[in-house]
Structure 1
Amino acid sequence: MCGIAGIVDPVESKQSMGSYLDSMVKVIEHRGPDDQGIWVGDGVGLAMRRLSIIDLESGRQPIWNEDATVGVVFNGEIYNYRELTTQLASRGHVFSTNSDTEVLVHLYEEYGEKCLDHLRGMFAFAIWDRRNRRLFVARDRLGIKPLYYHWNGSRLIFASEIKSILEHPDVSAEMDLQSLNDYLTLKYVPAPKTLFEGIRVLPPGHTLTWKDGELALGRYWEVQFHEHPVSISDEQALERLDELLRESIKLRLRSDVPFGAFLSGGIDSSLIVAVMTELLQEPVTTFSVGFEATGGQTDELPYARTVARQFGARHHEVIVGPEDFFAKAEETIWHLEQPIADQATVATLMLSALAREHVKMVLTGEGGDELFAGYARYAGERLSPLMRKIPQAAKRAAIAALRRMPGCRRAKIALYALAQNDEATRFTNWFPLFNHSLKSELVSQTQLKFPDVTETDRVFGAILDRSNTGIPLHRMLLVDMNHWLPDFLLLRGDKLTMAHSIEARVPLLDHKLVEFATSLPPRMKLRGLTRKFLLRKLARRYVPEDVIRRKKQGFPIPIHAWFRGAGRARLRDLLSRDTVARRGLWTGEVVEKLLNEHDNGVADHSYLLWGLASVEIWQQRFIDSTNNARRC
């Protein structure tokens, strides 16, 4: 696991390029505290910071092939590298290390761009082909590892993190208003854009190729649900899922350093810990997070403890209180590099800090909800055909009546979403940050040229237009697999574990397991009102029944109470009238109304307020600061 960076600029001097690359990798030292490597050629330079996980002694990058004509910088892990090394050696390739990184240069020599078809892993890498003066950049199929780039028409700058690109003197930090518009609805910025004007993210399953001054973007893989799902019995599907998950976990246990697992006490992480324990035949080191609240804790710790005891885990916990939350908020957003309207981000950062005291790598449970329909919205979407039969006037009256009632936030949002006839608009409005109506009020008096608030619907519409399935559940899962998963969950997981030099591996997102899940009929995921049907059935083989039956919680952070108590002053400072007026982004009266209604207990606006406060912290950290001040 590493942080990588590179520049292609035919007119830049070697000395200047080397200096830029040194600054670019120093700012991401947290991604690789063990080693640094920089190489500069004519018009091109590659750099890396290394976190040693496999072949601790001889994995310095860039790594070259036998005659130094193909070199690579690489972030991630190739889990099937041993098998690939054997195959390539039998074809005459000579290896100088035992690292998974070296596999990439020989695989590229053998297969060119088709080398990607042979990889099982998470990765973002850049290969420089000296003979052809060609740069080949690729990101893994599901978007587990990040890769950003800036292209001005003649110069390409790329890196594992945005802050690296901002270290280049010719790249300025400016806000992209379309991306801000998307964020206000979705809670995150959808690829391929970022909140920084001119800096883009390479989407999952894509390549970027530079040759002869031209830049080309290509897609080599994408999530697709089968138009005609396979015919398979419950028992056959269960056995195949068990086999694929065990194989995936076994591959991800390949490591030369101590490792463990994040354990929430939910189905996904509990299942992973159970299988790890069986495969290793020894206790697993596990890590969980809980939260302080008035009158005690409110969290998933009791369930995590149950699972840890069941499997004899070496269990560790961290408790997050309001003081921790606000003390760590700025550091969290600096590592995320873009605001995410998610209150669990600080908890993830602190959980990673705890894990780093004991291990260097963890397995996590992301992906189960998106593959097997774990969220309530998937069941709720089944009501949309009924809602479409209700006259619009009646739906508008019901929404207006529900809005006047205190509480019921989820019910209000669900009704608003279901009231939308257009599929993309409906998907956009399932648990948004701001719905179109409130977003319009929020930006109505801004002096900036703000995009149409409904423009965000295009993000999901593009995915649905390309889909080859008409099955409603699969269309909804497809949207989440393309955006919610990589742009929100996996981004959060990568940035906040790497903030403490922890590698996070995601066994449920092995692409072979994903391709199996997308081939299954919808009844294997959502049966009646039972979500994650097949995964639950598999979990019953391994984990306690009360863990399987319990209600899904996520990270139940009592931030609504914190914003009325210990965090009130900080929140008011971030969203003060003067600050809002100076920024010119929001309508001051709307922000003040949200703050007062939350203070008075009229409504729980903690979600909305944290979303706005996160934008302010982001602006202070990235837009207001000089390059040196961006370092945390």
Structure 2
Amino acid sequence: MSGPASGTACRIEKPFHARDREGQANGAELLLAAVNIRIDNRATIAESCDISPEAGLEDMLAAGWRRWGTGLAAQLRGAFAFVLRDPTDGMIYVARDHFGLAPLFVSETENDLFFGQTSQSLRAALGFSPSDDRTMLADFIAGAYLERERTFFDGIARFPAAHWALYRHDDRQRQRYWSLSDVAADPHPDAPVERFRDLLDQSVARCIRPGQTALMLSGGLDSSAIAASASLSGPLSGSRPLDALSLTYRETPSWCDDRHLAAVAAMTGLDPVEVAGDVHDPLQDMAFWLRAVDGPHLPRGHSVSFQLLHLARQMGDGVVLSGHGGDEVVSYGFGRLNELAKRGKWWQLWRETRAASQLYGDDRIALFRRYLSHKPYLRRLIRRLGRNAVAASPIQRRYLSDDAVRAIEPDRYEIRPAAGRLDHDERMLQLEVLDHALQPGSLEVFALCSHAAGVDTRLPFYDVDLVEQSFSLPSEWKLRDGLSRYILRAAYRGDLPEETLNRQDKFDFTSAFVAGLVSQTDKVLDLTDPAVADPWGLVDRQSLTEARESLYRNGAGIALGDAFFLWRVAILAMWADIAHAPLTAAPLANSDN
């Protein structure tokens, strides 16, 4: 397996100055573009700017700059991040897409401004490795993901999603050009199911590269909807069908999705290539992926799911479609339960609790009782009994050393979720999820790992128009008749098997993760040895010792929090060996040097 490419960076000297560049007198010079940049509305941009839709990326962005100036980013759709320079006065314009699908990093020194496709490319361009950001490391150990811009290196930042920035002489401007919170609610939508279906179908069609596209197909609702949409898609006409790649757990009946997978495959005409996931090493190929993302944030199931990226490349596919984001974009609609309780619709509330009970395995009566806190005379009793308690935070300060705790703000992890508010509704819950720092963080991991594997993973659910339409809908289109994510089910009725459309369960990879961790007990214990595992002194030694003993003595009976903690410490131990290894100088694109 070859090592991941570090990407390209550009260096811009201060002060910014005009540059003579033939043919760009009124346009802009493209200094840097994200890997796999994709402008989905090229035809619209071309028509507005009176240029050919076949124009190159630089010409299209230059024309857009002439037409809209700093408003260019708001006009674009797709996965994009770029740095432009206006040659007439040296002004620098930077923009990143609405969700953060395309990574972009920035660093500024006294004499230069750097941008990079990866933080690794910036470190190489700087010529030295910045010091580690101890707060970010502490957050990782505690299981927190709070930062949108900070990285694990001081002085290197992510350029934030949905923003543009302007650098001119000593002037700095930065502005957010899109926010989901600005999307108005639509209490009476016109033909919402048909519009949702049209928007998702259009997004899927734009993501397909005919003859070179694979789909991560799980048998769940999100990937199945993409399969149904793609099987009817115009871009696939006359080309070979999608390659379907599926993780299966046939040796573990309680984890097995083969019944749903077979039904979807039969109805869509796909023939999935299976990768067995029953037994896996959660630390497999970790060094490769750590280098790819230039930091320890990786999903716990990476050792299985990311195998599909390499497999797609081996099969000749350059694009991989994923249903990631479907949960967040469509939403389960559970905020509606509190809306019904506030309105005193108790019988309807009872009917709708079926979806949440089946998804999470919660006792339905206990779930219903939680909403009785809207009865003033029951509220105090319910609180005393703990019936209205919100799930405990996954962030665990106890895993941090005393030095680490003293170094962070006292209230850094005191986060009250929207579901803990008595007045919460569906919009609050969906906005909290979609606007969380974890969203662009996870998209960054997808992009960087896909690039390292030689493919471009595309996420059809992350489409601006689709996200806005979904967010604007009343909650009854998210949760209805005891079915969560109702509008997605309604949109694909007739094109997916009824058993898929009506399934309420969702595969939980936690058991598979713990089983994999236990199978690698010796490796985990070696990596988490307190004598070598924490060169930063951020891990609480007592908690680490107890978690290691629990893994050794209890195996699969280890507490989930301790299992996740050991995994994070093991990753950090591997990261410590990689973080400051010598880097090959990154290529500098259109730079001033």
TM-score by length of 1: 0.75
CA drift of 1:372 comes to: 2.1
Mapped pair 1:593 → 2:546: yes
CA distance in 1, matches of 2:111, 2:575: 29
CA distance in 1, matches of 2:469, 2:155: 37
Question: For 2:532, what is the secondary structure of its paired residue?
Answer: helix
CA drift of 1:563 comes to: 2.3
Say if 1:553 and 1:107 are closer, same or farther in 2 by CA, change over 3 A. Answer: same
Mapped pair 1:85 → 2:41: no
Structure 1 residues 550-571: Cα deviation after superposition (integer angstroms, max 9, x where no partner): 3111546623122222x11111
Comparing 68-77 and 382-391, the one that deviates more: 382-391
Mapped pair 1:259 → 2:194: no
> Is 1:372–1:526's contact at 8 Å kept on the other side of the alignment?
no
Say if 1:309 and 1:226 are closer, same or farther in 2 by CA, change over 3 A. Answer: same
Comparing 578-587 and 279-288, the one that deviates more: 279-288
Letter of the 1:219 partner, please give it.
R
CA distance in 1, matches of 2:470, 2:46: 29
CA distance in 1, matches of 2:262, 2:116: 39
Say if 1:392 and 1:548 are closer, same or farther in 2 by CA, change over 3 A. Answer: closer
For 1:627, the equivalent position in structure 2 comes to 583
> Is 2:115–2:122's contact at 8 Å kept on the other side of the alignment?
yes
Letter of the 2:389 partner, please give it.
A
For 1:243, the equivalent position in structure 2 comes to 198
> Is 2:221–2:501's contact at 8 Å kept on the other side of the alignment?
yes
CA distance in 2, matches of 1:174, 1:384: 47
CA distance in 2, matches of 1:393, 1:538: 40
Say if 1:293 and 1:453 are closer, same or farther in 2 by CA, change over 3 A. Answer: farther
Say if 1:533 and 1:392 are closer, same or farther in 2 by CA, change over 3 A. Answer: closer
1:457-472 alignment, distance < 5 Å = 457=414, 472=425
1:336-351 alignment, distance < 5 Å = 336-340=293-297, 342-351=299-308
For 1:579, the equivalent position in structure 2 comes to 532
For 2:265, the equivalent position in structure 1 comes to 308
Structure 1 residues 364-419: Cα deviation after superposition (integer angstroms, max 9, x where no partner): 21222112223989977997665693579846xx6xxxxxxxxxxxxxxxx8xx63
> Is 1:332–1:349's contact at 8 Å kept on the other side of the alignment?
no
Question: For 2:95, what is the secondary structure of its paired residue?
Answer: strand
For 1:408, the equivalent position in structure 2 comes to none
**Which of 419, 439, 442 is the aligned partner of 2:389?**
419
CA distance in 2, matches of 1:125, 1:383: 51
> Is 1:8–1:156's contact at 8 Å kept on the other side of the alignment?
yes
Question: For 1:327, what is the secondary structure of its paired residue?
Answer: coil
Mapped pair 1:158 → 2:111: no
For 1:149, the equivalent position in structure 2 comes to 106
Say if 1:198 and 1:446 are closer, same or farther in 2 by CA, change over 3 A. Answer: same
Letter of the 1:81 partner, please give it.
R
Mapped pair 1:6 → 2:10: yes
Say if 1:334 and 1:519 are closer, same or farther in 2 by CA, change over 3 A. Answer: same
Say if 1:325 and 1:525 are closer, same or farther in 2 by CA, change over 3 A. Answer: same
Question: For 1:558, what is the secondary structure of its paired residue?
Answer: helix
CA drift of 1:179 comes to: 2.4
CA drift of 1:528 comes to: 6.5
Letter of the 1:374 partner, please give it.
Y
CA drift of 1:257 comes to: 6.4
> Is 1:238–1:537's contact at 8 Å kept on the other side of the alignment?
yes
CA distance in 2, matches of 1:256, 1:228: 37
CA distance in 2, matches of 1:42, 1:526: 56
Letter of the 1:264 partner, please give it.
S
Mapped pair 1:70 → 2:25: no
CA distance in 2, matches of 1:319, 1:512: 36
**Which of 489, 497, 505 is the aligned partner of 1:544?**
497
Structure 1 residues 232-265: Cα deviation after superposition (integer angstroms, max 9, x where no partner): 37xx211111122222223333x47622322122
Letter of the 1:261 partner, please give it.
L
CA drift of 1:141 comes to: 0.7
Mapped pair 1:613 → 2:577: no
Letter of the 1:536 partner, please give it.
R
Question: For 1:217, what is the secondary structure of its paired residue?
Answer: strand
Mapped pair 1:273 → 2:231: no
For 1:334, the equivalent position in structure 2 comes to 291
CA distance in 1, matches of 2:110, 2:473: 44
Mapped pair 1:356 → 2:313: yes
For 1:139, the equivalent position in structure 2 comes to 96
Mapped pair 1:318 → 2:275: yes
CA drift of 1:627 comes to: 2.7
CA distance in 1, matches of 2:57, 2:585: 36
Aligned residues: 535
CA distance in 2, matches of 1:541, 1:116: 38
**Which of 135, 160, 178 is the aligned partner of 1:203?**
160
Comparing 168-177 and 486-495, the one that deviates more: 168-177
Question: For 1:564, what is the secondary structure of its paired residue?
Answer: helix
Mapped pair 1:491 → 2:444: yes
Mapped pair 1:569 → 2:507: no
Mapped pair 1:177 → 2:134: yes
Question: For 1:175, what is the secondary structure of its paired residue?
Answer: coil
CA drift of 1:267 comes to: 0.9
CA drift of 1:220 comes to: 0.7
For 2:435, the equivalent position in structure 1 comes to 482
Mapped pair 1:126 → 2:83: yes
CA distance in 1, matches of 2:161, 2:530: 40
For 1:290, the equivalent position in structure 2 comes to 247
CA distance in 1, matches of 2:143, 2:289: 19
Structure 1 residues 536-584: Cα deviation after superposition (integer angstroms, max 9, x where no partner): 221323211222333111546623122222x111111111121246441
Letter of the 2:173 partner, please give it.
A
Question: For 1:268, what is the secondary structure of its paired residue?
Answer: helix
Say if 1:102 and 1:354 are closer, same or farther in 2 by CA, change over 3 A. Answer: farther
Query: Where does the alignment leave 5 or more consecutive residues of structure 2 unmatched?
Result: 1-5, 338-355, 357-366, 587-593
Say if 1:390 and 1:291 are closer, same or farther in 2 by CA, change over 3 A. Answer: farther
Structure 1 residues 565-609: Cα deviation after superposition (integer angstroms, max 9, x where no partner): 2x1111111111212464411111211111222333343332232
Letter of the 1:419 partner, please give it.
A
Letter of the 1:477 partner, please give it.
Q
For 2:360, the equivalent position in structure 1 comes to none
CA drift of 1:320 comes to: 4.2
**Which of 54, 70, 73 is the aligned partner of 1:113?**
70
**Which of 499, 515, 520 is the aligned partner of 2:473?**
520
Comparing 301-310 and 328-337, the one that deviates more: 301-310
Question: For 1:326, what is the secondary structure of its paired residue?
Answer: coil
Letter of the 1:361 partner, please give it.
V
CA drift of 1:321 comes to: 6.4
Mapped pair 1:365 → 2:323: yes
> Is 1:139–1:202's contact at 8 Å kept on the other side of the alignment?
yes
Structure 1 residues 470-514: Cα deviation after superposition (integer angstroms, max 9, x where no partner): 753212211211225633431232122111121122222211111
Say if 1:546 and 1:474 are closer, same or farther in 2 by CA, change over 3 A. Answer: same
CA distance in 2, matches of 1:451, 1:628: 34
CA drift of 1:123 comes to: 0.6
CA distance in 1, matches of 2:130, 2:335: 36
CA distance in 2, matches of 1:103, 1:383: 57
> Is 2:105–2:157's contact at 8 Å kept on the other side of the alignment?
yes
CA drift of 1:519 comes to: 1.1
Say if 1:238 and 1:191 are closer, same or farther in 2 by CA, change over 3 A. Answer: same
Say if 1:88 and 1:291 are closer, same or farther in 2 by CA, change over 3 A. Answer: same
> Is 1:244–1:513's contact at 8 Å kept on the other side of the alignment?
yes
For 1:510, the equivalent position in structure 2 comes to 463
Say if 1:578 and 1:503 are closer, same or farther in 2 by CA, change over 3 A. Answer: same
Q: Relative contact order (C-alpha < 8 Å, sep 6+): which is higher?
A: 2
Letter of the 1:240 partner, please give it.
R
Question: For 1:163, what is the secondary structure of its paired residue?
Answer: helix
Question: For 1:125, what is the secondary structure of its paired residue?
Answer: strand
Say if 1:196 and 1:572 are closer, same or farther in 2 by CA, change over 3 A. Answer: same
For 1:51, the equivalent position in structure 2 comes to none
Question: For 1:578, what is the secondary structure of its paired residue?
Answer: coil
Percent identity over paired residues:
20
Comparing 473-482 and 382-391, the one that deviates more: 382-391
Question: For 2:38, what is the secondary structure of its paired residue?
Answer: strand
CA distance in 1, matches of 2:262, 2:23: 48
